[in-house]
Amino acid sequence: MTNEQKDNLFVLVKSLTKSEKRQFTLYVGRMGSNEDSKFLNLFQLLDKMKIYNEKVILEKGIVTKQQLSNLKAHLYKQILISLRMNPVHKNIRIQIREQLDFATILYQKGLYKQSLKVLEKVKLLALKYEEKFSAYEIVELEKVIESQYITRSLSNRAETLIAQADQLRSQNDLATRLSNLSLQLYERLIKAGYAKSDQEFREITHFFYAHLPKLNYENLGFREKLWYCKAHVWYSFLTQDFLSAYRYAAKWIEMFEEDPNMIAIHPVFYLKGNNYLMESLTLIKYPSKFKETLNQMMFRSKQEDFPKNDNLRALYFQFYFSNKLNLNFLEGNFEEGLIVIPEIKKGILEFSNQIDPHHIMMFYYKISCVYFGVEDYENCIVYLDKIISNKRLKMREDLLCFSRVLNIFAHYEAGFDYHLETHLRETYKFLIKMDDLHEVQKAMIRFVRGLGDIYPHELKASFQELYKELKQYENDPYEKRSFLYLDILSWLESKIESRPISIIIQLKAKQLNRKERPSIYPYSAG
């Protein structure tokens, strides 16, 4: 971990665009500070630095070591104030907070009527755009003001405010419970992956329904429906009910298509919903609909009214390129995947502060699969090693497991026999430790371990035997997850038929696109 990543102020300064830096300089000028002010000098020095170095700052004589911490905190605050004033960052939520601040100032000056007028107007805005936590805060301030200044305009003013507060409190409580459930399910998926047994399935199902609030879906607002769908998407992924995940993610996107104004208000939800929809389309193997969804997300995100900020740029990069690779895997176009790898590597560096380490490792796994698909096994091993050797990262056990299994096959294909026994031993230890030695992994490792005793003319028959053994697990509820990370069956078919794995997958993709599929929006909220 570098100092650049550790120092929050340095990271913030380096994230600023040219226009944001220019605005900050103008903002400091309007404050009446002269150009020799310490915090402006510190800002200019940090802007020129390539890596954070506290020793260089102190040598410049801008500030003493004892004062540096306070000066950095002051500069950090001033940059945030300057950014808040930038029209680019004026989204609905900030506009609502700003108006609420104005109303508070008017109230503190004793200008009650003016404050109430601002609050009523901004409350309608908050309700229109589903900012119900802010709306609740607004109503609570209205109640405080009314308790000191009784208006004569409405005889039932108190009852109206109490009813609004109760309704918003109930809606916010429901949204909180649904978002808590969604986060807990997501955490479980990140740590452990899909359910691996009937016992795990029962545990997850019991937890889900024990924490799922009783509700009437049709009476929910846009925000509550989003959290409801999201919780069901994660539950469906955990229990490997991918058709259900597809349907709830599809309903999620349908909500945005029915109310396009919400895309600009909740762009993160829109991008994530598309990502989950494409992930489910990958898992139910639906290439044509996948391509349609990817193109639609790309089209919407390029529109003028779609918000632009660093967070959204990072999310778009992550979701677009991750799913671009998924489409290449679905269609067997590994050569196309090879073309975008340089862009992915560039994006990982550019957005290193926005993308979490887990998703970076997911990129590395997908890149290694691309190299495996084009038979560049040495580069495949390089990227798998980035995952396997990362001892600090707590990530999905199943991803770590299949990274090791794919590593064994890549070493076999590359002819690195002298490393094979070591990797087999380490993989066995890892799988036993995580208590995840399922039948598919056992069969694959037994096969590789016995390769040394197989004569070349016996290889094809051995591949056929392994294919027959593994094929029976293709639709097994808990064994099939092995094929989600590593298309071992297509690899075996390529060995048996002496054809590239890309050709095998391309033929399968054509058959999948001809297959009868469910409608994009079948859904039941029950």
Give per-residue pLDDT as tens, 313-351: 999 999 999 999 999 888 888 999 999 999 999 999 999
Say if CB 188 and CB 223 are below 8 A apart.
no
pLDDT band at 519 (very low <50, low <70, confident <90, very high): low
Boundary-marking domain end, from 153, 171, 198: 153
Question: Does 20 reside within a domain?
Answer: yes
Domain that holds residue 32: 3-89
Interatomic CA distance for residues 520 and 526, integer angstroms: 18
Q: Which two tokens mark 53?
A: 């170095």
Question: Does 28 reside within a domain?
Answer: yes
Return the closest-CA partner of residue 96 out of 55, 135, 48: 135
Question: Does 335 reside within a domain?
Answer: no
Alpha helices in 86-111 (DSSP H): 92-108
Return the closest-CA partner of residue 405 out of 449, 374, 373, 351: 449
Boundary-marking domain end, from 71, 89, 107: 89
140-193 tens-digit pLDDT: 999 988 887 765 555 678 888 999 999 999 999 999 999 999 999 988 887 777
194-239 tens-digit pLDDT: 888 889 999 999 999 999 999 998 889 899 999 999 999 999 999 9
Question: Does 368 reside within a domain?
Answer: no
Q: What is the DSSP string of 188-229?
A: HHHHH-S--SHHHHHHHHHHHHHHSPP--GGG--HHHHHHHH
Boundary-marking domain end, from 68, 89, 110: 89
- State the pTM of this model: 0.79
Q: Rounded to whole angstroms, what are the CA distances from 371 to 311, 337, 393? A: 29, 9, 23
Residues 111 and 132 in one domain: yes
Domain count, the chain: 2
Question: Does 117 reside within a domain?
Answer: yes
Question: Does 282 reside within a domain?
Answer: no
